[in-house]
């Protein structure tokens, strides 16, 4: 199976790219770009188990969890897949974000109460 590289930076974009060997020093082909962070992406960590999970953290205390699925393109079997010329189909689904900050405003007669709720996880 080909190598997938996840990158992020000051532009707040998470990029998933495929390393394609065979060229001079190889090359990275961008497969998916996701804009969900509101600030610079500072770190990326992955976990492989039943599913492939990717964790990204941002400068404004954002932590996001992504489920990554990849498979050969339609019409190509896994045994016929050639990473030097075929590109993967890849999906990136956000599973959780923390902290998720929401503001709820309620008005009671002349006073306004602003409640900040911080939700963690799903």
- Over residues 40-49, the pLDDT tens digits come to 999 999 998 8
Range of the domain at 97: 4-119
The span from the CA of 73 to the CA of 6, in Å, is 20
Per-residue model confidence (pLDDT) at position 23 = 61
Better-predicted residue by pLDDT, 99 or 109? 99
The span from the CA of 35 to the CA of 15, in Å, is 9
The span from the CA of 2 to the CA of 27, in Å, is 12
Per-residue model confidence (pLDDT) at position 85 = 78
Number of domains in the chain: 1
* Model confidence band, residue 11 (pLDDT cutoffs 50, 70, 90): very high
């Amino acid at each position: 199976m080909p190598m997938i590289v996840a990158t992020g930076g000051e532009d707040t974009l998470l990029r998933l790219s495929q390393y394609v060997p065979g060229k001079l020093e190889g090359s990275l082909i961008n497969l998916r770009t996701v804009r969900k962070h509101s600030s610079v992406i500072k770190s990326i960590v992955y976990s492989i188990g039943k599913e492939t999970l990717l964790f990204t953290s941002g400068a404004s205390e954002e932590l996001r969890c992504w489920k990554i699925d990849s498979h050969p393109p339609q019409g190509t079997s896994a045994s016929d897949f050639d990473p030097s010329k075929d590109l993967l189909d890849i999906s990136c689904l956000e599973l959780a974000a923390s902290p998720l900050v929401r503001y709820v405003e309620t008005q009671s007669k002349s006073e306004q109460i602003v409640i900040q709720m911080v939700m963690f996880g799903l």
